[in-house]
Amino acid sequence: MPLQQQQGLTVTRLAAAEYFFFVKDHLLSNTMAKAIIMRRLDGISEDVFPERRR
């Protein structure tokens, strides 16, 4: 793979990571969104680990 392509790929990955963390921080600063996300994560973990069901 040519160096120029590799550098382009890395820059794209960094941009995607920065965007992801920006969106995540923005969402988690919103209490309502945080509650929804946490509820979704609880639901997912219950699907993956049925023994954790309350």
Q: How does pLDDT run across 8-47, given as a tens digit for each residue?
A: 667 677 777 788 777 777 766 677 777 777 777 777 666 6
Per-residue pLDDT, 49: 57
Q: What is the DSSP string of 5-32?
A: HHHHHHHHHHHHHHHHHHHHHHHHTSHH
| Residue at 2 is within a domain | no
Find the helix or strand (DSSP H, E) in which 34 lies: helix 31-48
- For residue 52, pLDDT over 60 is answered with no
Question: What's the pLDDT score for residue 47?
Answer: 61
Three-class DSSP category at 52: helix
The pLDDT score that the predictor gives to residue 19 is 80
Angle in degrees, CA 53, 24, 34, rounded to 5: 45
Is 53 strand, coil or helix? coil
30 domain-assigned? yes
Tell me the whole-structure pTM to 2 decimals.
0.31
Residue 5 predicted with pLDDT over 60: no
Task: Tell me how far apart the alpha carbons of residues 8 and 17 are, in angstroms, rounded to a whole number.
Answer: 14
Residue 9 lies in a domain: no
Which range of residues forms the domain containing residue 27? 20-54
Give domain status of residue 41, yes or no.
yes
